[in-house]
Amino acid sequence: MSESDFSPINPTNSIEIDFDRLEEVSLGEVELKRELLVALLEVIHVNLEAIKQAEAANNYLTVARCAHQIKGAAANMGVSSLRAIATELERQAKAEKLSSATDLLVALKSQELGVQSYISNQLPE
């Protein structure tokens, strides 16, 4: 999913992962892969909460900063679908036009659930 492929009208909780990238950053170790994805979930959760508050206050700078953090973490882990959504939210915040912020937040939450599901189903403890 490229940045321009995201449609806020059709958010999806199917996640797209670059498994080569995930293998690279986890050194092929399943436990490390799990730990890194759990850390990604924390980044998503903390920043989603901050984005919700900032969006309600029209604090574009904070929305952009938080979306950027999610984007970077997603890129590092190879979760391209999450990166694309966060990129779009960051772009809109920088333009001070959060026209589809609600849809993007729903899509980010959906991606968070998708990562959780992947961990539970593919990387159980």
Q: CA–CA separation, 115 vs 78, rounded Å? A: 12
CA distance 32 to 29: 5
pLDDT, position 3:
41
- Two tokens at 44? 């998503």
Range(s) of the domain holding residue 9: 3-122
Q: What is the CATH number of the domain that holds 40?
A: 1.20.120.160
Residue 59's alpha-carbon distances to 66, 98, 109, in angstroms, are 11, 10, 20
- Strand, helix or coil at 79? strand
Taking the C-alpha atoms of residue 37 and residue 78, their distance in angstroms, rounded to an integer, is 10
The pLDDT value given to residue 99: 85
pLDDT at 14: 85
Yes or no: say if 106 and 6 are a contact pair by the CB < 8 Å rule.
no
What is the number of domains present in the chain?
A: 1
Mean predicted confidence (pLDDT) in 101-123: 94
Q: pLDDT tens digits, residue range 56-93?
A: 999 999 999 999 999 999 999 999 999 999 999 999 99
pLDDT(12) > 70: no
pLDDT given for residue 13 in this prediction: 58
Q: What are phi and psi of 18, to 5 degrees?
A: -85, 95
Say how far apart CA 66 and CA 43 lie, in whole Å. 9
Report pLDDT for 87.
97
Question: Would you state the pLDDT for residue 69?
Answer: 98
